[in-house]
Structure 1
Amino acid sequence: MNDDENATVLLVDDEPALVSLYSAYLEDRYEVRTATDGEEALSVADGSVDVALVDRRMPGMNGEDVLRELCAAEIDCRVAMLTAVEPTADIVEMPFDDYRTKPVDRPELIGLVEVLIERASYDERSQEFFALASKKAALEIAGETSTTAYETLCDDLESIRTDLDNHLDAVGAEAAFSDLA
């Protein structure tokens, strides 16, 4: 992962005007690559991409397909779905880190990229926690909370929270007694 100033952001949306707008929001802070379809996105994605912002609904290869292909290519970047599609329970199984419903303004987009860059420095379990928390929030905002997938998501989130709390307690105890050893 590059530091914040040298981070590379991939914008993928089938609406060229949005790609241009979002690129203008970000290009003074990040290296920005753009694509207006899934195939083009995969052709410009490589290991130097730190953050990918992917539209969910695109003709041809949709955002879910792009996510799967990024994972299959082992491109280790943080991914946000940036879409007009309201979330449903099917997002629980998708491998992304955040879900935002368009439109987004400049401060929100910059903030999203900053958060995703920060999360890249977290351990894998913490990244998983925040990805699940994002999915939970998206489903709650959309009113999609009465499904088995949502309940399972909440259970998984609580399990990870407990694991992280236990780990932090153990690390804190080790640090507290390290001077005595």
Structure 2
Amino acid sequence: MTDDPVVLVVEDEPDLADLYSSWLADHCTVRTAYDGPEALDAIDADVNAVLLDRLMPGLSGDRVLDAIRDRDLDCRVAMVTAVEPDFDIIGMGFDDYLVKPVSPDDLIDTVDQLLLRSTYDAQIQEFFALASKRALLESQKPEAELRASEEYARLEDRLAVLRERVDDTVAQLSGSDDYEQACRDITQEEPT
């Protein structure tokens, strides 16, 4: 048994799924599913991150994502898709979104970020997921369209609330002796 993180690649184009898997093979344990039902069979509590195509025949990536969240699985999910993002992404339960084509570096960096986020508490995870959605929309939509969107305004409001909570949590932690000791422990070098 390995301690490597487990990443599930869900892609209905087998050549592309296998390519993504080969890019990740040196970084983690990779499982591959070629459609939605296969993805639902392959995912379990051992999976740390999922790379999920949105447009698949039969069971779409959106529905697979809903099923993952309904099962309460503690994994991070990135949509890797040819679907350009629109405001509908705000309510979706993914953590990151890549528009195809993707490079090996982008894919590996995204997996690294997903695995890092899995160590955060739920509040921080939600903050980063929403911040990713905001950044994605800002890169794809004109400023006027963003300002006119009620969904985007709600996203901005939710991010402001979360930022305040995160700042409060950090302020509370930074005043704690345990927090200061943990920071000192982290910054100390390992004995050689």
Unaligned runs of 5+ in 1: none
SS in structure 2 opposite 1:100?
Answer: strand
Q: Distance in 1 between matches of 2:125 and 2:25?
A: 26
- 1:158 partner amino acid: A
Q: Which residue of 1 aligns with 2:105?
A: 107
Give yes or no for the alignment of 1:158 onto 2:156: no
SS in structure 1 opposite 2:176?
Answer: helix
Question: What are the equivalent positions in structure 2 for 1:80-91 lying under 5 Å apart?
Answer: 80-91=78-89
Q: Deviations over 1:97-150 (max 9, x none)?
A: 111111111111111111110111111100000000011111111106231101
Q: Which residue of 2 aligns with 1:24?
A: 22
- What's the TM-score once normalised by structure 1's chain length? 0.91
Q: How many angstroms does 1:29 deviate by?
A: 1.7
Q: Deviations over 1:62-97 (max 9, x none)?
A: 111001111122221100011110111111111111
Q: Distance in 2 between matches of 1:175 and 1:120?
A: 25
Identity score, percent: 45
Q: Which residue of 2 aligns with 1:130?
A: 128
Of 115, 118, 126, which aligns to 2:116? 118
Q: Which residue of 2 aligns with 1:60?
A: 58
Q: Distance in 2 between matches of 1:72 and 1:129?
A: 20
- Structure 1 runs (4+) deviating above 3 angstroms are none
Give yes or no for the alignment of 1:12 onto 2:21: no
Q: Which residue of 2 aligns with 1:98?
A: 96
The answer to which structure, 1 or 2, has the higher relative contact order (CA under 8 A, 6+ apart) is 1
Question: What are the equivalent positions in structure 2 for 1:141-180 lying under 5 Å apart?
Answer: 141-143=139-141, 145=146, 146-175=148-177
- What's the TM-score once normalised by structure 2's chain length? 0.86
Q: Deviations over 1:150-179 (max 9, x none)?
A: 111011011100111111112222339x99
Unaligned runs of 5+ in 2: 182-192
- 2:55 partner amino acid: R
- 1:172 partner amino acid: S
Moved more, 99-108 or 125-134: 99-108
